[in-house]
Amino acid sequence: MASSSSLVSPLCNQSQSPLLHWVGDRRKAFISPPCNGGSATSKDGGAFEPCNEYYSSKNGSFSSFFGSKNVSFNINHKHPRLNRGVARSGQAMAVAVEPAREIMTKQKPPTKQRRIVVTGMGVVTPLGHDPDVFYNNLLEGASGISEIEAFDCAQFPTRIAGEIKSLSADGWITPKLSKRMDKFMLYMLVAGKKALEDGGVTEDVMEELDKEKCGVLIGSAMGGMKVFNDAIEALRISYRKMNPFCVPFATTNMGSAMLAMDLGWMGPNYSISTACATSNFCILNAANHMIRGEADMMLCGGSDAAIIPIGISFLSHLRAFNFPFVNRDGFVMGEGAGVLLLEELEHAKRRGATIYAEFLGGSFTCDAYHMTEPHPDGNKLDLYYYKL
């Protein structure tokens, strides 16, 4: 610690150790000793005042610190740490004397939010395949629940479902494609095209549309379960018996993709799979795409066809179904598709479309409670607002 005084007062004439002599030499490289025209350190801690000879010296290392522009900077290659300290000191002073700059932030001009309306509806349900027939059956209290006829379900505790007994795809889908695809895709394509027909989108209107601004967002909770299950059964015999399209036709997004390819629509296209809330998520996401200006027209909704042995068995095992003659609540499996044609308001007005309702907004929530049961309080629900 004796060397600390020597570092503070390098001008002391007292005898010093070799280490202190070296330190003093290093100090001299930065601060010139007192000379004519200069003053030493004062008792109150003031700094050395450099003399005129210092500014004209070749070793003027603090030229940027003292403000001289004519003095060259002498770099010490043996001790780079000292050089770095000098450079930082000079930069710090340079920043300190710079005038403050006013920071300008760019703000986006306010834009008017686009309004979204419903101009078409299409359904494929156990209560009818036309919106008016479907709605009237609901008002009359008709039930679409019946005994399952697609397969023998005597071994299952649940033998009822909302099953579609028949559906003709003539005029909507080519016979070859309808035989290959899963029923969830079949329902989706028929309901989607029915929504376009209901919305007055004729061939002439279709030709005038900006197809890069038209999209499809129709989801499915379970996708093509039947076509995938049939492929597994066929594999027990031979892989040659499998449907070559079993994997792509099983994915939930393939229905939206097939419908978009059929229509030539090149806007947003994907699917969402969120169990019973799938269609709600698709509707809100489709509306958000249009609000952001990414689309002018979108088909959105959901489709499912899971009334097959594996679909009934796993939900029965989860005790998610309503079992007959058992004092408990649950749901009944159903199948079908529902599709809305959403359109930007001004776009719909220009083509003279019939407007059923206006979409005002919605929100995404999660009750974080159970896989199949809703929260007892029911305080976390998907909210959607429509103006009729």
> pLDDT tens digits, residue range 292-345?
999 999 999 999 998 988 887 777 766 666 655 556 567 788 999 999 999 999
Whether the CB-CB separation of 302 and 315 falls below 8 Å is answered with no
Tell me what percent of the residues of the chain surpass a pLDDT of 90. Answer: 40
User: For residue 271, which amino acid is it?
Assistant: S
Rounded CA-CA distance 294/290 in Å is 5
Q: Is the distance from CB of 199 to CB of 353 less than 8 angstroms?
A: yes
The secondary structure element, H or E, covering residue 160 is strand 160-161
Instruction: Give me the residue label for tokens 């028929």.
Output: 190
Strand 160-161 to 214-219 pairing: unpaired
- CB of 47 closer than 8 Å to CB of 31: no
**pTM for the complete prediction?**
0.67
Domain boundaries, the chain: 116-387
Instruction: Over range 363-380, report the average pLDDT.
Output: 76
Q: How many CB atoms lie within 10 A of CB 116?
A: 25
CATH class for the domain made up of 116-387: alpha beta
Locate 6 and state its tokens.
Answer: 């020597």
DSSP three-state, residue 349: helix
User: How do residues 199-253 score in pLDDT, each as one tens digit?
Assistant: 999 999 999 999 999 999 999 998 988 888 888 888 889 988 888 888 888 889 9
212 or 21: which leads in pLDDT: 212
**Do residues 214 and 259 make contact, with C-beta atoms less than 8 angstroms apart?**
no
Residue 281: name the closest of 327, 334, 331, 218 by CA. Answer: 218
Per-residue pLDDT at 131 exceeds 70: yes
Q: What is the mean pLDDT of the chain?
A: 77
